[in-house]
Amino acid sequence: ELEILARCSHPNLVRVLAACMLPATPCLVMELCDTSLDKILYGKGALLPMPLVLHIATEVARGLAYLHPTIVHRDLKPGNVLLNGPWGERPAVKIADFGLSRLHNGVVLTQHPEAGT
């Protein structure tokens, strides 16, 4: 995760502030955000306003567009989308949790043409 995040600098990706890589207790210190999208979606019980939904989706897409030439996240879900700032406005949106991400150098061919999820 540290190797991936050390390569990245984008406003829609969570920042690493410090790291301790001792064998017994590895630790990453990252920027603090107010909440995650899953807490908002599943805790509120009400629909989010469409402008807010579009803002969050656009910001996540910007972060993914930055990553995708060389990095595949592989674990994008509401719990890994962090939000910071006022709700009536446009909160900062950050993609987090790069523990399953992978670096890739080119096209990966599948063994079977029926590949899918």
Catalytic position from the list 34, 38, 75, 97: 75
Q: pLDDT of 57-104, one tens digit each?
A: 999 999 999 988 888 888 899 999 999 988 767 999 999 987 787 787
pTM score of the predicted model: 0.80
The CATH number of 2-103 is 1.10.510.10
Angstrom distance (rounded) from CA 105 to CA 77: 24
Q: Are 22 and 2 in contact (CB under 8 A)?
A: no
Sequence spans of domains, the chain = 2-103
The three-state secondary structure class of 30 is strand
Q: How confident is the model at residue 115 (pLDDT cuts 50, 70, 90)?
A: very low
Q: pLDDT band for 116, please (50, 70, 90 cuts).
A: very low
H-run or E-run covering 17: strand 16-20
Q: Is 75 a catalytic residue?
A: yes
Q: Rounded CA gap, 65 and 48, in Å?
A: 24
Residue 6, CB-side half-sphere exposure with 13 Å CA sphere? 6
- Please list the residues that pair with 72 across neighbouring strands: 102
